[in-house]
Amino acid sequence: MLPSPQLGLTVRLVVMGVAGSGKTSVGERLAERYGARFVDADEAHPEANVAKMSAGIPLTDLDRRPWLAQLQRELADNDQIVITCSALKRAYREQLRRAGDVRFIYLAVEPATALDRVSARPDHFMGADMVASQFDTLEPPGGSETDVVMIEATGDLDTVVAAAIEALEHGLGAAPGFER
């Protein structure tokens, strides 16, 4: 378990992946476990972005710029925070890293799994017709991105959350402030 926030430890965690990877469900559970503030990046999108995605139009880098800046500020302004954010490109992750002490959990899924999950949530602005564009944009983390832990997110929620906790607390990508 994460030590008390009163100890002055910083934990800034981004749960990332394509639409339908389970970011919100996993992020909520991790925030609860570590007593951290939870922010769903979907709720931070400007109206213009939501309208575009609702119409089935993929966002551009320019569209994402103010959204990512807001998320970077949220990370920088909070010592105990879990944010769910697609963070599809390395450049987006680099911007979020500028907040300091950021760790990422990358929830990896196959396109068919993401499509099935997105299709099951009809009231969300990110429709099933947008899933392919998410995979087209995705630059999977790798190489020098040692602050990212990949979790296969195809199992049930409890299994995926347990794997994320194990990776954070004991894995190669263990974040400072997490028990080892």
Q: What is the pLDDT of residues 86-124, one digit of tens each?
A: 888 999 899 999 998 899 999 998 888 877 766 665 664
Give the sign of the dihedral formed by CA 59, CA 61, CA 67, CA 72.
positive
Residue 121 confidence (pLDDT): 56
Cβ proximity of 167 and 105 under 8 Å: yes
Residue 52 confidence (pLDDT): 77
Residues with pLDDT less than 70, the chain: 1-10, 117-130, 171-180
Residue 57 confidence (pLDDT): 77
Residue recorded with tokens 């991105």: 145
Residue 172 confidence (pLDDT): 47
DSSP 85: -
The terminus-to-terminus CA distance of the chain in angstroms comes to 9
Q: Provide the CB-side half-sphere exposure for 111 (13 A, CA).
A: 10
Q: Which of 3, 5, 19 is nearest to 109 (CA)?
A: 19
What pTM value is reported for the model? 0.79
Q: Which residues have C-beta within 8 Å of that of residue 163, sequence separation ≥ 6?
A: 151, 152, 155
